[in-house]
Structures are given as C-alpha cells and as structure tokens.
Amino acid sequence: MKIDAVLGLSYGDEGKGKICHSLLEKNKYTHVIRFNGGSNAGHTIYHNGKKLITHLIPSGVFYGIKSVIGPGCVVDTHKFFKELEYLEENGIKTEGLVFIAKNAHLVQEIHTDEDSTDISIGTTRTGNGPCYRDKYARNGLRAEQYDKLEPYLIDIYKEFYGSNNKNIRILAEGAQAFHLDIDWGDYPYVTSSHCGIGSVLLNGFNHKQIKNVYGIIKAYDTYVGSKKFQPDEEVFERIQQEGQEFGATTGRKRQCNWLNWDNIRKSILMNGVNHLIINKVDILDKVNAWKIYYEGSVLDLQNQETFENWICSKGTELNTKVYFSYNPYDIKWDDKCKTAKNDLKNLDRFLG
C-alpha cells in the first residue's frame, strides 16, 4: 500500500483541491481519502473547464475513483447529501464511489447551532469545534449509528487490509492546514482537528505506507478568522482583489500578508514534505511585489526570478522539490530548481 498526502502548510486555501485534481490526473490511485475536518473546508476545482466547489466529498469522484471520508472527519449529513446532489447536477457521477468510515463522527444540529454564534475565533460556523469536543468527551454520534448512511458506510480495516486488497494506492486529501492545526497552529485561532501528516496515520494507516508528501502554499499568505493578520498597507488590498481572496465556504474576505517562510520551514520539517508547491505566483506578478518574511523580518526579493530562486534554494536545503503554478487550473510538474541551480550563486551575491 502506498500513500501520497496533500497538506496545506499555511492557513488553508492554498489550493489543495487543485493539486489533488492534478495528481489524480497524473498518477494512478485506487482511493482518495479525506482525513480531517468536515464541511468547514472549501476546495475549488476546475474540472473540464468548469469551476466546482466541494466541502466534504473527496476529489476522487472527478475521476471515478473511490472517495472515502475517513474516521478523522466529522460529517454533517444534511450537507453531505446536498453535496452529492450538487455534484450529480454538475455531471459528476458519485454513485458507488462515495464512502464514509463507520467510525467517523456526525455533526449534529446542536453543534451547528452552538457554532452559529461564534465570534471569538471566527469559525466557519459549520459545527466543527463542538462536534470534535463531543467526540473527545465520548458524547458523540458515529456515522454507523445513522440508518440513512448505511449505503455509504465503510470499514477502513476491511477495505484496506482485507486479504484480496492488493496494489492499493491512496491519495490522502488534507483540509485546512498545519498553521490551523489544533496543536501546532496559533491557538486558539485554530481549527479543531489535526492537519499534518500524523493525521493521515490516525485514520488507520502506518508510517511505512507514506510515499510522498505534497506541501501546498501560496506565494503570499492568507488567513480567515478573528485575529488581525493583514498589515495596514494598500498592497495587501490589491493582493486580496487580484487573488480573489474570498472564502469558498463562507464568502468572507481573506486577510493577506507576505509569505512567512519561518512557518513554512516548520511545516516542511515537521511533516516530511518532499514536494513543495507554490500556487498563485501570477498574483504577486500582478501587484509586482516580491516579499517574504524570513527570520522575523521582511526580505524584499525585488522580482519574480529572484523570488523563485530564493524559494528554490531554501526548498533544496530542506530536501524538497519545488514547483510553481501560475494559473487556477493546473500545474506543470517540472522541478524548477533543477534548472535554477546555476542562478543560485548569483542569488547568494545578491543577498550578500
């Protein structure tokens, strides 16, 4: 069994949906599994030229691949059925493809009601936090306790460790991101689940199965929630506009800031990232500003070439391949840093 994982390394909305979609086209997978979160997520995917947004259902359905909502997730059944309908209406076949681990927990009305008035964290108000709280308090309801879900239930052990299950290749689709992780994010401005590589394992897998870890970032940071994140500079409003930084789940404006490499370094090292993807380089190009937080201060890299070379050199130091993307639809899988190597010497000179 082999698992490739797609993880957000910042604060969510890095474009994990797009990268999953591209990996599903590129590689042969037998399953896609969502391992954390619930309908608080919003994955924007362009499929055959059409823009679609999913919240809960893994992206395997776009390619006719078994799509499993894992035991680390929480499921709002009302939204689950609505999303199945939405996909079918948009020509995506879901029948016989979508499964929910029988030990996943259910988001109940009391959870969404409670979350609906939150202002202190700035949650997505989808009942996520209260549901996980009740799970850990051993007061929760599991998917297997709800009759209407019967046709979708799956037993992770039987599915992945049964005697006739050979050549399983899983894409583990993350939601939220490492700096929203309940333990590693900026508590309490976090989500209530685990968003790193450990979370994949908690869904019934082991470390020997992990093959590739794709870490996703944008060329700048965004965050949605109550704390102040965006500095009072006009350039960030331009980035917000050009990047169309609005939440896919709530429609809220995302606050913008320069990419924080100190955070990304931590995410790469703690999650064993070996492929780093930088989305939305085209947006920084539009505002023509190439800055990064590095060791606590702002580093002005002045132009796109230096910006990319800098990330290449830092990524290479951390043993990860580096890929840049310039549009919302797809990505070229050529390791840019191989060709950039020659420029790195010049970069050293530039940075003194």
Q: Is 13 a catalytic residue?
A: yes
For residues 90 and 50, is the Cβ–Cβ distance under 8 A? yes
The listed partner (Mg ion, ligand IMP, none) that binds 222, CB under 5 to 8 Å by sort, is none
Q: Is 257 in the site for ligand IMP (CB under 6 A)?
A: no
Q: Which of residues 44-83 bind ligand IMP (CB under 6 A)?
A: none
By CB under 5 A, which span of 22-30, 154-162, 248-256, 324-332 interacts with Mg ion?
Answer: 248-256
Neighbours of 37 (CB within 10 A): 28
Catalytic residue among 4, 21, 31, 43: 43
Nearest distance, CB of residue 263 and Mg ion, angstroms: 18
Closer residue to ligand IMP in complex, CB, 129/140: 129
Q: Is 13 in the site for Mg ion (CB under 5 A)?
A: yes
- The whole-angstrom separation of Cα 115 and Cα 131 is 10
By CB under 6 A, which span of 79-87, 124-132, 237-245, 282-290 interacts with ligand IMP?
Answer: 124-132
Closer residue to Mg ion in complex, CB, 128/309: 128
Q: What is the DSSP letter of 36?
A: S
Q: Is 275 a catalytic residue?
A: no
Which residue's entry shows tokens 């689940």? 193
Give which of 125, 121, 248 is closest to 175, Cα–Cα: 248
For residues 61 and 92, is the Cβ–Cβ distance under 8 A? yes
- The whole-angstrom separation of Cα 58 and Cα 68 is 7
Question: How many residues sit close enough to ligand IMP to count as binding (CB under 6 A)?
Answer: 20
How many helices (H) does the chain have, and how many strands (E)? 11, 17
- The whole-angstrom separation of Cα 270 and Cα 198 is 10
Which residue's entry shows tokens 């900026």? 186
Show the binding pattern over residues 212-251: x = contacts ligand IMP (CB under 6 A), - = does not.
Answer: ------------xx--------------------------
Give which of 210, 64, 186, 200 is closest to 121, Cα–Cα: 186
By CB under 6 A, which span of 26-34, 133-141, 174-182, 228-236 interacts with ligand IMP?
Answer: 174-182
For residues 71 and 204, is the Cβ–Cβ distance under 8 A? yes
Contact residues: ligand IMP, CB under 6 A: 12-13, 40-42, 121-124, 126, 128-129, 175-176, 180, 189, 191-192, 224-225
Question: Which sequence positions are flagged as catalytic?
Answer: 13, 43
Contact residues: Mg ion, CB under 5 A: 13, 42, 248
